[in-house]
Chain A
Amino acid sequence: MDIFFQQIINGLVQGSVYALVALGYTMVYGILGLINFAHGEVVMIGAMVALAALQALLAAAFAPVLAVLLSLLIAVAACMALGYSIERIAYRPLRNAPRLAPLITAIGMSIVLQNLAMMIWGREYHSFNLPFTSNSHHLGGAVMNDVQIGIVVVALVIMAGLMWLVHHTRTGRAMRAVAENPAAATLMGVDINRVISVTFMLGSALAAIAGFMVSANYGIVHYYMGFMLGLKAFTAAVLGGIGNLRGAMLGGVLLGLIESLGAGYIGDITGGFLGSHYQDVFAFFVLIAVLVFRPSGLLGEKLAERA
């Protein structure tokens, strides 16, 4: 039972990160119908910038807590600028092009960012250590440390904040309007370019926070770290119903739990026939099963409504 409880915690921590990144995919898709494959790379850049800022601030003798908060802010700012630029440079000129063009551009952008990061920060793994120790807490028989508690709490707060922003502010209303019908929104006086820029910047800010959290949790950063994370988060977004904010959150947490329980029990369930390296297969199997019965994801709208 302790083991099961620990696997749930593992899944929740992992799932919170997936959910934050998935929100970035789903927001952009909801508004533009574009899958921003460069999003995973924004997470990585966020982590890299945070690391550089953290080292610089600690070297300048800032108090540890202040340095951590400031470096997170710097990473968020840098990623918002990056998200804005990506949209401005790579996607806006192609907004009215056939759908395949921006998709390919997105993949290209992802490769460009990855290589850029490789040139700046090198191929090696860098250590990402918070300047204070992360204490472990025993909850029954399971263990959870400060960083992991932080990840779950911060993710919850941010998701609640985002829901409030989308449903109770002017900007949020504009975003929902553009998502529903861009042409009509323009006629109603919504500055569609501004809304799209804001969406990209919001998504990138979440990516920066996610990047900071993964790095703090695993203690290492690498120029390639965004690729797999981006792919998983995209899967989470599809699982929950891409374009749907609640869906991204649900999908992220579910994917985290499925992976964790899958890796933990798949060997026992199949009698050793499948091992724990099939944890990704397990996750994608669940995804396929869900899509067979609900093609638009768990919480997705029916496709006809968007067409």
Chain B
Amino acid sequence: MLINRIALLAALAVIVAGCGKSETSATAASDELVIKIGAAGPLTGPQAHIGKDNEYGTRMAIDDANARGVMIGGKKARFELLSEDDQTDPKTATIVAQKLVDAKVNGVIGHLNSGTSIPASSIYFKNGIPQISPSATAVKFTAQGYNTAFRVMTNDAQQGKALGEFAVKVLGLKNIAVIDDRTAYGQGLADEFVKAAEANGAKIIAREYTTDRSVDFTAVLTSIKGKQPELLFFGGMDPQGVPMVKQLRSLGMKTQFMMGDGGYTPKLIDLAGAAVEGTYASLPGVPLDKMPSGRDFAKRYEAQFKQPIQLYAPYCYDAVNVMIAAMQKAGSAEPAKYLPEIGKVELDGVTAKLAFDEKGDIKGGAVTLYQARQGKWQVVQTMGGAPAAKP
């Protein structure tokens, strides 16, 4: 812990030193435009490895931009990274957001979680700072009426829709039972799933509920059993998914089982053992080796940071490039001037073809479906999303 603190202090010192230097060099070469990009995510705590991965993805995009020399409004731009630790904590996220605003960043890549991105977004909105989250999926993030909030990741509604279409169109299942855990995430996902499944001609023959604390689902499953569904969809997280799929099988039900990204965890397979075989789950986005230039990106990432990509680094990379593209189009790095251009950006990114809808969500976000086979999550197929052209 102490070492972490020291490392953090050292990192802060470097950032502060960096800021100091930039001011002097900016005055030295007045035709150079210094653009500060803020990055926010957890750099300590249990999700620190994912937060650091995001920072690396952002840094890589910035290094690339500096290396290729981006011209904005006739001036040569030099990008700088200001990375902040939100500790996955909503309160800390707002403090960090204010800090970035006070440091006069031109834009922010972050935060990692929906729970931090949403409270921070109101601060960025008030100060007119564009924010692109690489990984927040909650529908609410872009539904607050903030014109500063964007994301390059598929949201929960798009995910529920893809799951519903997959169940009916691809698997050909018509009689479906749905359970959700009554949380914002579980209920939202299940509702979108139901809408999409019904729109494609499926019948929801049972709609049951549980809580995110329950472990016994035998009563609910038994009542579902009487209606003989072909598929059971559960909108919730893996702590409930594990006992649910186990009880499903021990009741002798052959019903297929499907979850969203709450189920796509190694834990679901570890904990549920043999019962999980055949279960479907999804993850927003595209698997790395299905991305147009994913392999090449992964190689460069590993060479620079000496570690494999954790999760969202390619999305951070794309988010920075969206920002840069908007600045180039506006001919300015001033938030007020380039903000209107972000929504109009169309870009072949690493992860997909990037374009936004009027809310700031990515257009036609991709969702990848996985199935547990022989104790491993295996890709079944990717739904939606417009793949970028091969470079």
Q: Does A125 contact B223, Cβ atoms closer than 8 Å? A: no
User: Would you give the shortest CB distance from A232 to chain B, in whole angstroms?
Assistant: 10
Q: Report how far A261 CA is from B273 CA in the complex, Å.
A: 29
Q: Report how far A149 CA is from B271 CA in the complex, Å.
A: 22
Which of B213, B218, B242 has the most chain A CB atoms inside 10 A of its CB?
A: B218
**Closest residue to B251 on the A side, CB-wise?**
A143
Binary interface encoding of chain B residues 246-286 relative to chain A, with 1 for a CB under 8 A from any of its CBs, else 0: 11001110000000000000010011110000000000000
- Name the contact of B215 in the complex, choosing from A3, A220, A263 (C-beta under 8 A): A220
Interface hit among B202-210, B288-296, B305-313, B377-385? B202-210
CB within 8 Å of A: which B226-252 residues: 226, 238-239, 242-243, 246-247, 250-252
- Note all chain A residues with C-beta closer than 8 A to B243: 218-220
Q: Does B239 contact A220, Cβ atoms closer than 8 Å? A: yes
User: Would you give the shortest CB distance from A121 to chain B, in whole angstroms?
Assistant: 14
Q: Report how far A57 CA is from B383 CA in the complex, Å.
A: 46
- Note all chain A residues with C-beta closer than 8 A to B246: 218-219
Q: Does B222 contact A124, Cβ atoms closer than 8 Å? A: no
- Note all chain B residues with C-beta closer than 8 A to A259: 219
Which of B219, B226, B239 has the most chain A CB atoms inside 10 A of its CB?
A: B219
Q: Does B208 contact A276, Cβ atoms closer than 8 Å? A: yes
Does A267 make an interface contact (CB < 8 A)? yes
Q: Does B239 contact A222, Cβ atoms closer than 8 Å? A: yes
Q: Does B242 contact A219, Cβ atoms closer than 8 Å? A: yes
- Name the contact of B252 in the complex, choosing from A3, A126, A136 (C-beta under 8 A): A136
Q: Report how far A239 CA is from B215 CA in the complex, Å.
A: 22
Q: Does B252 contact A275, Cβ atoms closer than 8 Å? A: no
- Name the contact of A275 in the complex, choosing from B209, B213, B226 (C-beta under 8 A): B209
Q: Report how far A124 CA is from B239 CA in the complex, Å.
A: 9
**Closest residue to A263 on the B side, CB-wise?**
B219
Q: Report how far A276 CA is from B238 CA in the complex, Å.
A: 20
Number of interface residues of A (CB under 8 A): 39
Does A134 make an interface contact (CB < 8 A)? yes
CB within 8 Å of B: which A180-196 residues: none
- Note all chain A residues with C-beta closer than 8 A to B223: 3, 7, 263-265, 267, 276
Does A168 make an interface contact (CB < 8 A)? no
- Note all chain A residues with C-beta closer than 8 A to B346: none
Q: Report how far A290 CA is from B215 CA in the complex, Å.
A: 26
Which of B216, B220, B251, B272 has the most chain A CB atoms inside 10 A of its CB?
A: B216
Does A95 make an interface contact (CB < 8 A)? no
Q: Does A127 contact B273, Cβ atoms closer than 8 Å? A: yes
Q: Report how far A262 CA is from B251 CA in the complex, Å.
A: 18
Q: Does A264 contact B250, Cβ atoms closer than 8 Å? A: no
Q: Does A263 contact B252, Cβ atoms closer than 8 Å? A: no
Q: Report how far A225 CA is from B215 CA in the complex, Å.
A: 9
Q: Does B267 contact A124, Cβ atoms closer than 8 Å? A: yes
Q: Does A264 contact B273, Cβ atoms closer than 8 Å? A: no
- Note all chain B residues with C-beta closer than 8 A to A219: 242-243, 246, 271-273
Per DSSP, chain A at the interface is: helix
- Name the contact of A264 in the complex, choosing from B213, B222, B252 (C-beta under 8 A): B222
Q: Does A134 contact B207, Cβ atoms closer than 8 Å? A: no
**Closest residue to A2 on the B side, CB-wise?**
B226
CB within 8 Å of B: which A266-304 residues: 267, 275-277, 279-280
User: Would you give the shortest CB distance from B222 to chain A, in whole angstroms?
Assistant: 5
Using known A-B contacts A219-B243, A219-B273, determine if residue A277 contacts B210 with beta carbons closer than 8 Å.
yes
Does B211 make an interface contact (CB < 8 A)? yes
Per DSSP, chain B at the interface is: helix
Q: Does A220 contact B242, Cβ atoms closer than 8 Å? A: yes
Does B225 make an interface contact (CB < 8 A)? yes
Q: Report how far A292 CA is from B242 CA in the complex, Å.
A: 39
**Closest residue to B208 on the A side, CB-wise?**
A276
Q: Report how far A279 CA is from B215 CA in the complex, Å.
A: 13
Q: Does B208 contact A136, Cβ atoms closer than 8 Å? A: no
- Note all chain B residues with C-beta closer than 8 A to A280: 211
Does B329 make an interface contact (CB < 8 A)? no
Q: Report how far A218 CA is from B242 CA in the complex, Å.
A: 8
Q: Report how far A145 CA is from B251 CA in the complex, Å.
A: 8
Q: Report how far A259 CA is from B218 CA in the complex, Å.
A: 11
Q: Does B242 contact A125, Cβ atoms closer than 8 Å? A: yes
Does A107 make an interface contact (CB < 8 A)? no
Q: Does B219 contact A143, Cβ atoms closer than 8 Å? A: no
Does B359 make an interface contact (CB < 8 A)? no
Q: Does A275 contact B208, Cβ atoms closer than 8 Å? A: yes
Using known A-B contacts A136-B250, A219-B246, determine if residue A125 contacts B207 with beta carbons closer than 8 Å.
no
User: Would you give the shortest CB distance from B377 to chain A, in whole angstroms?
Assistant: 17
Q: Does A276 contact B218, Cβ atoms closer than 8 Å? A: no
Q: Report how far A222 CA is from B237 CA in the complex, Å.
A: 15
- Name the contact of B271 in the complex, choosing from A127, A134, A262, A277 (C-beta under 8 A): A127
- Name the contact of B250 in the complex, choosing from A126, A145, A220 (C-beta under 8 A): A145
Q: Report how far A55 CA is from B211 CA in the complex, Å.
A: 30
User: Would you give the shortest CB distance from A269 to chain B, in whole angstroms?
Assistant: 12
Using known A-B contacts A143-B252, A220-B239, A222-B239, determine if residue A127 contacts B219 with beta carbons closer than 8 Å.
no
User: Would you give the shortest CB distance from A230 to chain B, in whole angstroms?
Assistant: 13
Does B182 make an interface contact (CB < 8 A)? yes
Does A10 make an interface contact (CB < 8 A)? yes
- Note all chain B residues with C-beta closer than 8 A to A138: 252
- Note all chain B residues with C-beta closer than 8 A to A262: 219
Could you list 9 further interchain pairs (A-B, Cβ under 8 angstroms) beyond the known A220-B271, A262-B219?
Answer: A127-B270, A127-B271, A259-B219, A260-B218, A260-B219, A264-B222, A275-B209, A277-B209, A277-B211
**16 chain-A/chain-B pairs, Cβ below 8 angstroms:** A7-B219, A124-B267, A125-B242, A127-B271, A136-B252, A138-B252, A214-B215, A218-B246, A219-B271, A220-B242, A260-B218, A264-B222, A267-B208, A276-B208, A276-B219, A277-B209
* 7 closest residue pairs by CB, A with B: A277-B209, A263-B219, A10-B218, A127-B271, A3-B226, A260-B219, A264-B223
A residues within 8 Å of B by Cβ?
Answer: 2-3, 6-7, 10-11, 13-14, 124-127, 129, 134, 136, 138, 143, 145, 214, 218-220, 222, 224-225, 228, 259-265, 267, 275-277, 279-280
